[in-house]
Amino acid sequence: MIIGFCGGTGAGKSTLVEHVAQFLGKDNTLILAQDHYYKHLPEQTFEERAQINFDHPDALDFNLMVSDLQKLKQGIAVERPVYSFVEHLRMNETVTIMPKKFILVEGILVFAHQQLHALFDYKVYIEANEELRVTRRVERDVNYRGRTEEEVHQRFKTTLHNMHKRFIAPNKEKADIVIANNGAVENAKTALTQWLKSSIR
C-alpha cells in the first residue's frame, strides 16, 4: 500500500509521516522522501545550482522517483539517491531500499506530478498556517541546510509563497483527508491515527 503525503514547506510532514510509520510498524513501513530526488546537475557551477528554484516541479527527477516507486511496488529493491542541500548535488553513494508492506511518500510536490500521484492508494494533505510554516522552514534550513535566516526569508518573498499557491495548495483537493497541523501536533497525530484505523485494513 502506498500513501502519499503532501503539504507546504514547514507544514510538519516529516513529523507526521514518522508518526504514521510508528503506527503501522517500522518493520512493515518505509518512507520515500521527495528531497532525495532533486535533479543531479554537476555540469553547472555551485553558483548556478544555488539559483535553482527547488520548490518548482522542474527541479525534481520525477522519472526516477516514479521508476523507483514502481519497482518497490513490484517487490524489487532500489538504490535511492542521496542528495546534499549544501552542495545542491547528489552524493556518490546510494541507499539500498527494500520493499515493504507500506510505503509512505512525502514531499511538497508529490501530488503535482500525475504519474507519481496515480501510484498512491491514499493521499494525505498536511495543512499549516503561513506564519508557522515560515518559522519551521527557517529553523530547518538554518540548522540543517547551511542557510542564513535572511536567505530563507528572502526565498519566501521571491519564490516560496508563489510556488505554494501555484503548485501545492491547489492539490489539497486531491487528498482523501486534510490534517491541520497548526502547532498542536498531538491533535494532528490523533486525527491521523483515527483516520488510519478507519481506512487501513
Series of mean pLDDT values for 10-residue runs along the chain (201 residues): 92 92 95 96 94 93 98 98 93 96 97 96 91 75 72 74 89 93 88 92 64
Cell output for 156: 519566501
pLDDT at 152: 66
Burial class for 137, CB neighbours closer than 10 Å (0-12, 13-18, 19+): buried
Residue 38 dihedral angles phi and psi, to the nearest 5°: -70, 150
- Residues 6+ positions from 59 with CB-CB distance below 8 Å: 38, 39, 52, 53
Alpha helices in 77-184 (DSSP H): 114-117, 130-144, 149-155, 161-163
Torsion of CA 21, 25, 26, 29, to 10 degrees: -70
Ordered by start, the domain boundaries in the chain are 2-199
In whole angstroms, give the CA distance from residue 91 to residue 106.
Answer: 21
pLDDT at 172: 92
pLDDT at 201: 64
Q: What Rg do the C-alpha atoms of the chain give, in angstroms?
A: 16
Cell output for 181: 497541523
Q: Is the pTM for the entire model greater than 0.85?
A: yes
Cell output for 43: 555540469
Domain spanning 2-199: which CATH class is it, in words?
A: alpha beta
In whole angstroms, give the CA distance from residue 72 to residue 54.
Answer: 26
In whole angstroms, give the CA distance from residue 116 to residue 51.
Answer: 26
